[in-house]
Each structure stands twice: as C-alpha cells, then as structure tokens.
Structure 1
Amino acid sequence: MVMSYDALDGAPDEALLVAYGNGDVAAARALTLRLTPRALAHAARMLGDRAEAEDVAQEAMLRLWRIAPDWRQGEAKVTTWLYRVVSNLCTDRLRRSGRTLPIDAIADPPAPDPGALARLAEADRAAALQAALLRLPDRQREAVVLRHLEGLTNPEIAAVMDIGVEAVESLTARGKRALQALLEGRKAELGYDDD
C-alpha cells in the first residue's frame, strides 16, 4: 500500500515506518524529514560535536530502515526507539574517545532574530548550558537532555534509557541540581536576574 501525500502529514510515525517496511518510499521520506532533525539535535547535545552528531543521526536512521520490515506496531514508539539508539551510539562514542570537549568546540545554536544583543546573550547562555551539560555524568546528561530539551515524559525516558521511572526522576533531579551549581555564579554574566 502506498500512502497519499495528504495522509503522510498526519500519519503516526509507526504507520509511516510500517508503510516503508511494505515498500512505500514516500512514507520513508516523510519519516526521515520528521525524525532526522530530532535525532541530530539529540546527538549534538550529547556529543557537543556537530560532525559526530551527523554521523550518529545517519547511523540511527539507517538502523531504523533496517528494522522497518520487522516493526510491530504497538510494541514501542518509533521516537522512543530512535532516541534510545541515538543515546547508545553517543554513549559508545564518548566511551571510546575518553574525551571531554573544550568550550570552544561547542557550536552556538541558531536563534530567531530578536536583535544583536539579545542574540549574543542567548548564544552565551546556550554555550554556558552546553558546557555545563558536558560536565555532567553521561546518564544525568542524557536524562536532563531528554526531559528538558527534548520534552520527553519520564516513562518515555525510562524506555529510552532502559531504567525505571524512579531512576529517571533521580537522574534528572541530580542533573538539574548539578547544572544549577555549575551555573550559579554566572547569573549576572549571563543576564539573569536574581529572581
């Protein structure tokens, strides 16, 4: 069955994956356009390196296409599966490299056009957050990124990280406290009021 372009926009990820598994190339294109930016953003936040993140996102999408013919709807969400694969690939790369990234290696995310000073302040805040995230232990960073930057729920994060919901809550709470401690002395510098 080949899905019409109108049906592709509102189709759930799982339906698009099953359609691709059954030979619908248009469904694969729609799913790629929908999921690749998310995989890339998640990898970039975990690795702090855009080129490595692109490699990870590409590998994760290739793995998704390989399992498409065997995908069984209702067993897992495609996004949960994809975030888990991206997280595992990033963790593997971080372990193999044994490195920490210098603050200079962190790319500033693009910002809307609120004005030059606001863009500079936002870039400084994003760089400070990224540098602080990279100082967290891997599991805390992963939980915080998935929860507060990717917007996943605690049960979704638990599925991605293969841990219990209580462990997710603990990791995100400890990660947030650590981030707060790392950034506490920089409030004024980053343009935040004491409120």
Structure 2
Amino acid sequence: MARDHAAATDEALIAWSAGGDRPAFNALAARHLPRLHALAQRITGSAAEAEEIAQEALLRAWQQAARFDPGRARFGTWLYRIAANLAIDAARRRPAAAMLAVHDLADSLADPGLTPEDSLALRQQDAALQAALAALPERQRAALALAHDQGLSGAEAAAILDTSERAVEGLLHRARRFLAARLAALG
C-alpha cells in the first residue's frame, strides 16, 4: 500500500521513519528544515553554524526515530528541543563577540528610496540590535527565537527548553528588559 507522505502527520512520518521509510523522513526534513535553521541561526548568530546544527538535529532525529514517544510530546517539540539544545551548546562554546557576525538586516531590507543618511541610520540600528542580542544569555536568546521568530506558544517553548511556562515567561521578560535598556542607552 502506498503511503501519502505529503498528507501524513509528523507523528505518522516519524513512525514510518522508525521502520526505515526514508521518503517519510525526507518529507519531515523538508517540512522542518527551514524553521530549524532559523531557530539555530537566531541562537548562534551564524548561518553556517545553523546549517550544521539543523542537519545534526535531523540526523539525530533519524537515528532516534524509534525512541520518539507521541504520548510525551509532539514531533515538532521533540525535534526543536534537539536543535535548540545543539544551538545553545554551540553558542556557549564561543565568545559572545562571534554573534556579531549575524547577517545585516538593514542590507536585506534596504529601500532604494532611502537617503544615504537614512540607510546609515537603519544599519546602525540593526547593528545595535544585533549587538544587544549577542549579549543575551543563550537561553534568553533561545526563548526569544522560539516565541517571536518561530511564533510558538509559551507551552511549546517551555517543552522545547525543558522548563516551565513560567520560566519561559521569565526568560522573555529578562531578555526584553535587557534589550530595551541596552537599546535605550544607545539612543
């Protein structure tokens, strides 16, 4: 009987993957790779490192597919926990200054109608934001990435970070307060 990988749930795909169904896992990878990469990039600040982390998270998911328990968590929560932990570990292994290598948002949003002064101001604002994000502790960056970049609920972010919703709220509150203070100090 042919399986409809495109219409199957993540939980069905990982169960099929546990039985050796590579096309099922390929469908999972295609669904989740962009978000895994975005999450890892926000935490580490490096597109290249994020690519490696996303691939490693998928490799681990493939290797551990038989151990996934849908009664304990959704597949996405399980997979993003793997990626978040890998990214946090990677970010802890290097100095915060390395986070400043993050892509320049101002260049990607450049408006050809902007004056050179406005364009410079936008680049300076982006650099200040990237520097402030780089100075955050890894778990606060992870909480911001999960809640804001990925749009996950507090419960989902808590499950991924293996903590309580209240702890995630605390991480987000401290991160926002730190960013606001850091950016306000810069004007």
User: TM-score normalized by structure 1?
Assistant: 0.80
CA change 1:127–1:44 in 2 (3 A) is farther
User: Is the aligned partner of 1:47 residue 2:10?
Assistant: no
Q: Aligned runs of 1:1-195 on 2, under 5 Å? A: 2-4=2-4, 8-101=5-98, 103=100, 105-108=101-104, 111=108, 115-117=111-113, 127-184=127-184
Runs of at least 5 residues in structure 1 that lack an aligned partner in the other structure? 188-195
Per chain length, whose mean CA-contact separation is higher, i.e. which structure has more relative contact order (CA < 8 Å, sep 6+)?
2
Q: Distance in 1 between matches of 2:64 and 2:130?
A: 33
Q: Distance in 2 between matches of 1:124 and 1:3?
A: 51
CA change 1:69–1:135 in 2 (3 A) is same
More displaced 10-residue stretch of structure 1: 122-131 or 136-145:
122-131
Report sequence identity in percent: 41
RMSD across aligned C-alpha pairs, in angstroms?
2.5
User: TM-score normalized by structure 2?
Assistant: 0.83
Partner of residue 193, structure 1: none
Alpha-carbon distance, 1:98 to partner: 3.9
Runs of at least 5 residues in structure 2 that lack an aligned partner in the other structure? none
SS in 2 for 1:97: coil
Aligned length: 181
CA change 1:127–1:22 in 2 (3 A) is farther
Give the letter aligned to residue 132 of structure 1: A
